[in-house]
Amino acid sequence: MLLSIFILILSLAYGMSIIYGASFIRSHKAKAESSVADVSLVIVFRNEAENLPSLLALLHKYADDCEFVFVDDGSTDGGGELIEKHLPSAILLTQKPLGKKVGLRKAMEICSKKFIATLDADVTPTPGWLGQMRAYAENADYVAGPVLPQSSKESFFSLMLSLEWLSLQAMTEASIHAHYPLMSNGANSIFTKDLWEQAQLVRKDEALASGDDVFLLEAAVLLDKRVRHASVREAAVFTEVPQSLQALWRQRSRWASKTPSYQRLFPKIIAFLVFSVCLMQILAWAISVKLWLMVWMIKLFTDYAVLNKISKKYHQSQFMRYYLITALIYPLYVCLIAFDTILRIFTKSKSTNPHWK
C-alpha cells in the first residue's frame, strides 16, 4: 500500500514538472542575421568524407569573415585533404594521436575571435544558422542551438529514436528558458572565448573522454554567466539518429555516464526523477494492472503535451505517429541504459581503486 502511494506521488511530481517545463517552450521569430566576423567555428571530424563536401559548400558563404578550425580525430578516409582543397583558409589540426578532448582544447586555445561556435561534421545546418546563432549571442555568454533529428530510414527504430531526440531538445530548451540549464549539445553552440578560458578554472571533467558541451554549460552556470537558447528553426542543425542498436547503446551509455560528474545537484535530481519514474512504472505492473495504468496514463499525457508542442514548433510532427508504442517501450529502455551505466561505473571503479582489490 505504501509503495503504491509512493509510486503515485512520484509519478504526479514528474507530471507536474513536465507540465511546468512545457510552459517554457514557446514559438519565437527569427532574428536578423548578424555578421560572423568575430566568430571562430570549431569542427571535429572523424571519417566524415561523405558528409564534408556538402558542409564545406555551405560554409563557403562565411569564408571571408569567419575563422575555421577543424580537428581531425583520427580520420582515415581523406577528410583532411577535402578540407584543404575546398576551404584552404581553414586551420587544420591533424597531430596524432590527438583525441577529441585534447583536440578541442587545442582548437579553443588557438581561436582568435571573440566568439567560438561549435559544430559536428555530420550535421546539416540550416542555411543561415551561424548568423542566427551569432545574433542570439549578442547579449549572452553561452547559447545552445537546436539539434533536431532526421532519419534516412523510415523504420520504427529510427522514428522512435527521433521522438526521443525531440524530448531531449525539449528538455534542453525548457530548462534554459526556466533559468535551470540541464544540457546542451556541442553539435550546435556558441560562446565567448572569455567564458571558455574562465571555465577551465572550475571544470572537473578532465578524466572524462567526452562531455565538453554539458560541462562547459555547467561552468557557465557556476560562473553566473548569461545562458540563452536560440529557439528558432532558422538556427537549427539536423543530425542523423543512430541506425543500429549497438550505436544507440554506446551513445546513450556514454551520455548517462557523465551524470555522476556534474557539480550541480539539479541535473542529478532530474536524471534520478526520470529514471525513478520509469522504474516505478515497471514495478507498478508487478503490483497491479490498475496502478500501472494510472502511472502510465500520467506519464503518457504529460509527455505528450511536451512532445506535441516541440514537434509542431520545429515542423517534425511526423515522428508523433509512433508515440503510443514508444511510451510503452521507453521505461524499460531507460532502466536498461541506467543499470548498464551503473554496472560500467562500478566495474571501472573496482578496477582502478586499490581498496577493491
Gap between the Cα atoms of 274 and 333, Å rounded: 12
290 Cβ contact partners less than 8 Å away, ≥ 6 residues apart: none
Q: Does residue 245 have a pLDDT over 80?
A: no
Taking only the tens place, the pLDDT of each residue in 110-142 is 999 999 999 999 999 999 999 999 999 999 999
What is the greatest pairwise CA distance in the chain? 69
Average pLDDT of the residues in 200-204: 85
**Residue that wins the pLDDT comparison between 242 and 205:** 242
| Of the residues 244, 275, 293, the one at which a domain ends | 244
**Residue that wins the pLDDT comparison between 198 and 102:** 198
- Does 232 lie in the same domain as 85? yes
Sheet containing 142-144: give its strands across: 91-93, 67-72, 39-45, 115-120, 188-192, 142-144, 227-229
- Does 227 lie in the same domain as 276? no
Q: Does residue 249 have a pLDDT over 80?
A: no
- Does 306 lie in the same domain as 211? no
DSSP for 273-303, please give it: HHHHHHHHHHHHHHH-HHHHHHHHHHHHHHH
Asked if 35 and 65 count as a contact pair (C-beta separation under 8 A), the reply is yes
- Asked if residue 258 is part of any domain, the answer here is no
- Does 229 lie in the same domain as 191? yes
| Of the residues 210, 244, 278, the one at which a domain ends | 244
The four Cα atoms 340, 341, 346, 350 give a dihedral, to 10 degrees, of: 90
| Stretch among 74-83, 121-130, 252-261, 315-324 having the lowest mean pLDDT | 252-261
Taking only the tens place, the pLDDT of each residue in 51-95 is 999 999 999 999 999 999 999 988 889 999 999 999 999 999 986
Asked if 190 and 39 count as a contact pair (C-beta separation under 8 A), the reply is yes
Q: Does residue 318 have a pLDDT over 70?
A: yes
- Asked if residue 112 is part of any domain, the answer here is yes
Gap between the Cα atoms of 230 and 171, Å rounded: 14
**Amino acid 356: pLDDT:** 46
Listed residue (126, 245, 235, 253) closest to 172, CA to CA: 235
Gap between the Cα atoms of 340 and 253, Å rounded: 7
Per-residue exposure over 155-175, b if at least 16 CB sit within 10 Å of its own CB, e if not: eebbbbbbbbbbbbbbbbbbb
- Does 115 lie in the same domain as 195? yes
Q: Rounded to 5 degrees, what angle do the CA atoms 136, 71, 124 make?
A: 50
- Does 45 lie in the same domain as 18? no
- Provide the domain count of the chain: 2
- Does 13 lie in the same domain as 44? no
Average pLDDT of the residues in 239-266: 78
Amino acid residing at 261:
S
Mean pLDDT, all residues of the chain: 89
112 CB neighbour count, 10 Å cutoff: 10
- Does 108 lie in the same domain as 187? yes
Specify the 3-state DSSP secondary structure of 351: helix
- Asked if residue 28 is part of any domain, the answer here is no
Average pLDDT of the residues in 169-184: 95
**Residue that wins the pLDDT comparison between 215 and 95:** 215
- Does 155 lie in the same domain as 56? yes
- Does 78 lie in the same domain as 180? yes
- Asked if residue 161 is part of any domain, the answer here is yes
- Asked if residue 171 is part of any domain, the answer here is yes
71 CB neighbour count, 10 Å cutoff: 25
> Phi/psi at 69 (nearest 5 deg)?
-130, 115
Domain of residue 153 covers: 39-244
- Does 169 lie in the same domain as 86? yes
Asked if 143 and 136 count as a contact pair (C-beta separation under 8 A), the reply is yes
The pTM score is 0.91
CATH number at residue 222: 3.90.550.10
- Strands (DSSP E) found in 185-340: 188-192, 227-229, 237-240
- Does 317 lie in the same domain as 192? no
